[in-house]
Structure formats: structure tokens, C-alpha cells
A and B are shown apart, each in its own frame.
Chain A
């Protein structure tokens, strides 16, 4: 039970960090015309991977 509690808190934190990362990059891309998807794709990928790990941890 305790393990689930810790894993869930950890998973939620990771998801929050991943969403923050994706959202910030999205806003940056929208307000900066010179920035294209080709420049930020890797940041989205890192965000997505972190979100996926967070999702796994919350569902342990």
C-alpha cells in the first residue's frame, strides 16, 4: 500500500513536470515565429517520455 502511495506521488510529479515542459515549449513556439517544430521536437519527445514513465508509475 505504501509503495503504491509513493509511486503514485512520484508518477503525478513526473507527469506535472512533463506537461510543464511540453506546454512551455508549445507557447514558446507559438510566440516566436522563427522557432519551428524542427527546433523543438526533441523537447516534446523528452516531455512525452517523462509523461509515459509518470503514467506507468501512477498505474503500478
Chain B
């Protein structure tokens, strides 16, 4: 059980977050305010919000545990290949097209580029996938934390999901992004504190380095040193099949960038955000290594218990409460982004597009709010009723999702870079690519090459097949007019052809230029990779 000061701090945090939500309710007057925060967000809020969304409770608990077992190589999932490079690709090649068309959601863009059927397919796939994800986020947020604090699971669930749902209901994306920054700051400060205590216990960096095998510090492993999922090719090529869809085409992520004041700021937010990710995940990885030295018995039993053990045993009273608040914050920031993106897709791509078309904005804002509540109920039911019974089935479903993600990315990327691409081949290519990825991962790859096979290769295969079918098949269909494709495809506007992207206002160009931040992010990523490969 926690000491009472820690519990007071956790409850105080919930009250402050709700107060922020209530404060920003007054700003909500239209769909733009509710779903896109009025397009008034500065880049630094969007950058923190993007990363807070990406770092969930399962990341904190999972990364610490998995690094304690396999070493720092796992950090590639959050460093160069699966975060920085996709963020840079998104900023340079994708975001400007979304901005030019002024869309609220990715399915809206899909309809403009292809047709209504493709939009419906994307929206439905997104909602199904994310409802299940929401259930798992709620589950991983409430259940393990109830074990740490000693509250009944239903109270923990009510506090976290209830508070997240309440402020989403009140303030929409504005409050979600502002609370994300609040949560991000608390997470960062607590993480730094945690590593201070953990390193002190193991005798500092030198003590840690001498206590563990050298390969635990390496982020580039040969196949003999690592596993099929952690060796260098799987990490540096394979994980692109996860990172590119997540950062370039996922509504859950990109909605934050749509809320910025300009295309330039949204690009900066993406690239600057990737820089924030390096220290955040490195700290948790380092905690994982310390845990491998301090609590080897816990790692042997269940690596996921490493993080709770560190928080409750290393930190003093008060800081423990703040660290647990940070864990709640991580879960709530992931939960609120799911609620925001799903309610936007349900309202705009399903309800407004197919059912009730000509109503006032206020009507759709209330529909969005009702969807937030309904989604929360569905997610909670999944977390409490379905997940405990079919947890393994969900894991299988998650694998199936990974087969869908890269083909989805491929169909959208081909849509942007190949003007000749049309809807029917893209539709068929998407279904064929996903199905082939499934067959390959389940029945072919593990049988033919068990030593080398990883599910990331299935995503690649599915995406390549989608691209081939879309490009090849489109040549047998009627092409779209140049007018329809304007702004939707690469170099279809005068600004694109001139090769001069719109720059931020003079005076702030330096700090807001995504091209400079791209170089910095790449340089940091490459340096870290080389240091944790050749030096340590």
C-alpha cells in the first residue's frame, strides 16, 4: 500500500486535469474547435502531445521489462528506424498534402484522392482496430496500477478512464493536447529522478556497465547475438513497416499535427517530437538495465513487474506519488488521443458523411461528445469483460493489424506519389496485400525460414504486393483528371513545382524550420546508434 501523501498527490493530479478540462470547455464552439483544437496549437504543444500519446503505460512497463531481458537493442522501436525516420518522411512528404486539402481526418483525404468506398473501408478498419486498442490501453492503465496502489481495479479504472473521458468530453482536442504537455513534463521530471536513484543503487554507470554483458548495451546486433526480432535488419529495415504507417498515415497521430496553426508548424512538431523521444525512451531503457542488475529474480518471473518494483522500492514518499501519477498520465494521454481520433472519424467519416449531412456545427460537436462516452463504455467493457477471457486472441488480432498497417500506408503513399493510381486497384491491392501478409506470417515464413523470420517482414511483403497491384492495375482503368488530383499528389501545385515549400514567418524561421530539425534529429539518431554500437 502507498503512503497517504502519494495518494493525495495522485488524487490532486486528477482534480487539476479535470479543472483544466473545465477551463477549456468555453473555447468549444465548432467542429474545428472540438476535433482540431481550433487549429490554434503552437508546434511545441503538438510535439510534446505527439510523444506523450506515443508513450503509454504499456511502454513504460513494457520497455523497462523487455530491455531488462534483451538489452538496449529494443530501443530502436523508439529511436531512429521506427520513430525519427518515419517522422521526417511524414514531415517532408505527407503532411503538406493533408494541409493543402484541409481535411479533418485521413479517411477524408482518402475519399478526395480515391473515392467514397475507400473512405468507408479506411474508417471502418480504423474504428475496429482502435476500439480494441482502446480496451487494451484502459486495461493496461487500470489493472497493473491498481496492484501498485492497492485500490480495487474498478476504482482504478473509474479514475483513469473516467477522468480521461470527462476531459475529452468537455474540451475536445484542445484540452487533450494541453494535458498531454502537462503529463509529458511530469513524466520527464519523474523519469530523470528515477534513473538517478536506480543508477545510484547499481554503483553508477561504471557499476552498471561492468555488471552486465556487453551486448546488453548494443543497439546493433548480429543475428547470432540477437533474436529474429532484434537483429539489425529486422530493427533497421523491418520496423519501418510499423513506424511509417504510424507516423505518416495514422489518424491517431496525425490529428495532433492538423491542430497546428500552419503546415510548417505541424512539420516542425513531428520532427522536433522525434528528438524528444530519444532521451525519454533511453531513460526507461536505462532503468530496465538497472532492474536487470537489482532485481534479476523479478525479471525471471515476469519482466512487466520490473517497473512497478522500481517505482515503489527506489523512490521516496512524495516522488513515488508523482511517478505513479506519471504512469497514469502516460495511459491517459494515449487513451485521450484514441478517444479524440475515433470520435472524429465516427462523426465526420461515418455519421456526417453517410447519415446526417446538413446540420449545424454544434450538432456534430455534441455527436462527437456522445461518441466519446460510447467509445469509453465499449473500451471499458472490452477491458473488463473480453480482454481477461480472450487476451491471447487479442494478441493474435494485434498481429493481424500489423498485416493491415503497411498495406494501408502503401495504398496512401502510392496515391500521393503516383498520379495514375485509381480506386479499384487500390481497394483490391489493400485487401490482397493484407491477406498475403497474414498467410505469409502464419503459414509460410515461420516454416521456410524459422531462424530469420519476424512478423515485420510480413508487413513489408503485404505493402509491396499492395503497391504492385495498385500501380499495375491502375493502368487498366480510366485516369483521374489533373484538376481532381491538384494538391493531393506530389508536385501538383505551382508551389510544389517551384520546389520552394512555404516557410514560417521571418524571425522564427530558424527555430521552426523542420528541415533544420530533421538534420538534427537524424544526426542525433545516427550518433546514438554508433555510440551504442561501436563505443560501448
Nearest-CB distance from A15 to chain B (Å)? 10
Given contacts A43-B318, A46-B189, is CB(A6)–CB(B182) below 8 Å? no
Nearest-CB distance from A18 to chain B (Å)? 9
CB pair B20–A13 under 8 Å, yes or no, is yes
CB pair B317–A43 under 8 Å, yes or no, is yes
Given contacts A6-B42, A17-B16, A42-B193, is CB(A24)–CB(B318) below 8 Å? yes
A-side interface size class: 20 to 34
The 0/1 profile, CB within 8 Å of B marked 1, for residues 17-57 of chain A is 10011001101100000010001111111110110010000
- A1's nearest neighbour on chain B, judged by CB, is B40
List, in ascending order, chain A residues with CB within 8 A of B5's CB: 24-25, 27-28
Complex: how many Å from CA A45 to CA B322?
12
Overall SS of chain A's interface: helix
CB pair B9–A20 under 8 Å, yes or no, is yes
Given contacts A28-B3, A28-B4, A50-B189, is CB(A3)–CB(B16) below 8 Å? no
Given contacts A6-B45, A9-B24, A10-B178, is CB(A42)–CB(B185) below 8 Å? no
CB pair A35–B189 under 8 Å, yes or no, is no
Q: A14's contact among B4, B19, B174, B185, by CB below 8 Å, is which?
A: B185
Report the interface size for chain B: residues with CB under 8 A from the other chain: 35
Max count, chain B CB within 10 A of own CB: residue among A16, A24, A39, A41: A24
- A39's nearest neighbour on chain B, judged by CB, is B316
CB pair B322–A13 under 8 Å, yes or no, is no
List, in ascending order, chain A residues with CB within 8 A of B190's CB: 46
List, in ascending order, chain B residues with CB within 8 A of A14's CB: 182, 185
The 0/1 profile, CB within 8 Å of A marked 1, for residues 1-28 of chain B is 0011100110011001101100110000
- B6's nearest neighbour on chain A, judged by CB, is A24
Interface residues of B in 168-226 (CB under 8 A from A): 174, 178, 181-182, 185-186, 189-190, 193, 197
Complex: how many Å from CA A21 to CA B193?
15
Interface residues of B (CB under 8 A from A): 3-5, 8-9, 12-13, 16-17, 19-20, 23-24, 38, 40-42, 45, 174, 178, 181-182, 185-186, 189-190, 193, 197, 315-319, 321-322
Can you list 13 A-B contacts with CB-CB less than 8 angstroms, sorted by A residue number? A2-B38, A3-B42, A6-B45, A14-B185, A21-B12, A21-B318, A21-B322, A39-B317, A40-B317, A42-B318, A43-B316, A43-B319, A50-B186
